[in-house]
Chain A
């Protein structure tokens, strides 16, 4: 059997390459119909409701970090507005002044006891 050399093979491949190789006649319209069906199936509203997007993983990490930082900053801001405020120097002075106005307890005006009434208080088990 005579074997082919490279040139022979190239000539055969060339003949095969230049010969037309096309799909069947109705193929184009079939694909266009399929495209129309597919597009009807994916309307804009459907895409908005159920569509998905591709997001690179690094972008997810960056977005998460930004959200965390924004949340932390917001938390600090809210805490400053509604948290316990430290009194200023003027407020301290006012507080000290009001403390002096309070009545001071002393023994002035205390009268001696004129009559004593004794009352013995015992526990229950001591009665037995």
Chain B
């Protein structure tokens, strides 16, 4: 859907047109929910944030400028801000995200028992949850939502170099966090072959 069409739909939501709201919601709510869920790792919180995101989009519709980018990108920025607000309200220190050591402490590595019982999706989700928040949002937007480096930088209000650095650190941490799971998978695979 073109940004201009979305802008017109957004204007129509101002008159209480439920159909216009429904079209916008159907087009974007899954992506918004995915990002919220992968960042918070809590389904209910992700749903609350998604709802809040769309209601704020309607009430502050004048802030969306279709000439500056798509509505999807705008929503990514909104959901990111809402998640940050949620973390701040719940005492999570987001300033630690950028300057963590490349080698995480041992407690950041997922316990083998915990990930042995999970499927790959949940293992990855659990590994994502161990990342510092700024690295997590970078990898969610870049790897899962397939935004370009520039788009990620815009969404997280940073520069491309910083985003690259966060992605590098995030991938290093993910490799370490997912190693136990990977080992069990490959061992099980070798056993099944034998």
Contact = CB atoms under 8 A, between A and B. Distances in A.
Contact of B54 (A5, A12, A13, A31): A31
A17 B182 contact: no
B143 A17 contact: yes
B176 interface: yes
Interface string B33-77: 110011000010011001100110011001000000000000000
B55 A12 contact: no
B18 A36 contact: yes
Nearest to B144: A17
Interface size class, chain B: 35 or more
Contacts of A107: none
Interface string A3-28: 11110110011011101011110011
B164 interface: no
Contacts of B125: 16
Given A16-B125, A22-B33, A35 B54 contact: yes
Contact of B144 (A1, A8, A16, A39): A16
Interface stretch (B22-30, B81-89, B150-158): B22-30
Contacts of A13: 124, 143-144, 174
Nearest to B179: A3
Contact of B183 (A1, A15, A21, A40): A1
Contact of B33 (A3, A6, A23): A23
Interface in A86-125: none
B163 interface: no
Contacts of B18: 32, 35-36
Contacts of A1: 179-180, 183
B121 A19 contact: yes
Contacts of B16: 36, 39-40
B171 A9 contact: yes
Contacts of B43: 23-24
A114 to B, nearest CB: 103
27 contacts: A3-B176, A4-B175, A4-B178, A6-B175, A8-B175, A9-B178, A12-B178, A13-B144, A16-B121, A17-B144, A19-B120, A21-B30, A21-B34, A21-B37, A21-B121, A22-B30, A22-B33, A23-B30, A23-B46, A23-B47, A24-B47, A27-B33, A32-B18, A35-B58, A38-B59, A39-B16, A54-B62
